[in-house]
Amino acid sequence: MIRLDKFLAETGTGTRSEVKKLIHAGLVTVNGDAGTSPEQKISPEADIVCVRGENVTYAAFEYYLFHKPAGCVSATEDAVHRTVMDYLTDTVRRDLFPVGRLDIDTEGLLLITNDGALAHALLAPTRHVSKIYYAKVAGTVTAEDVNLFEKGVDIGEKAPTRPAALEILTEGEVSEILLTICEGKFHQVKRMFQAVGKEVVYLKRIAMGPLRLPDDLPAGAYRPLTAEELAALKAQKRGNL
């Protein structure tokens, strides 16, 4: 059971003070009867709540796969830049947040949810959840770089990076690569290539754990996770993957 005002606030109807005003004005009904007070207890699964005659949908947790474009920050609010949350316009919950961060100029996969336990399981350093990046790198990436990345790279911290799998797609003045890492140090991919005298000029995350960025999801777009994706994430949370 949950308080009526808390239910309405969590479904995005308004702030606690705003929904209290709606209840006191008689604009909220529970199973066809006017809500008695903000403290009224309801069952989100069993009771039908309406505001101004419109049904209110409740979801304890929401999960979205978002293709972050360059130019926005991985935050819920920012005084200067557009945030990733500004792109999600039709969600039910108001307490969603991005799981982890991508640099402002980095594109790619972000999970958006309000499931804090799942987020912790994906981000905990001890879980070593894999992340795959596609990058364009100024300079020729070599087999020597592949071997060094596999051993771990000194990026100026107490310990080298954990072993990473570097795959060269094309070589040249600008090389194209795939890099799989299992940690998330600050600017890690860029710093790893800086350590071998090269510069990342374009970076895109294409996978995180069992999630893959769909080819048909353009930058700035999002969609709910499929049942299969969510099941795979929950298996990740339990440590089965």
**Which amino acids are annotated catalytic?**
103
Query: Where do the structural domains in the chain lie, given as residue ranges?
Result: 2-55, 63-125+211-237, 130-208
Predicted local distance difference test score (pLDDT) of residue 29: 95
**Considering only CA atoms, which of 43, 6, 46 is closest in space to residue 23?**
6
**What's this model's pTM, rounded to 2 decimal places?**
0.82
Q: Which fold has domain 2-55?
A: 3.10.290
Show the low-confidence residues of the chain (pLDDT under 70). 239-241
Q: Do domains 2-55 and 130-208 have the same CATH topology?
A: no
* Residue among 156, 159, 196, 151 nearest 177 (CA): 196
From residue 161, alpha-carbon distances to 128, 152, 205 in Å are 12, 5, 18
For the segment 118-141, what is each residue's pLDDT rounded down to a tens digit?
999 899 888 889 999 999 999 999
CATH 3.30.70.1560 describes domain 130-208 = yes
pLDDT in tens, 37-47: 999 999 988 89
Question: What is the CATH number assigned to the segment(s) 63-125+211-237?
Answer: 3.30.70.580
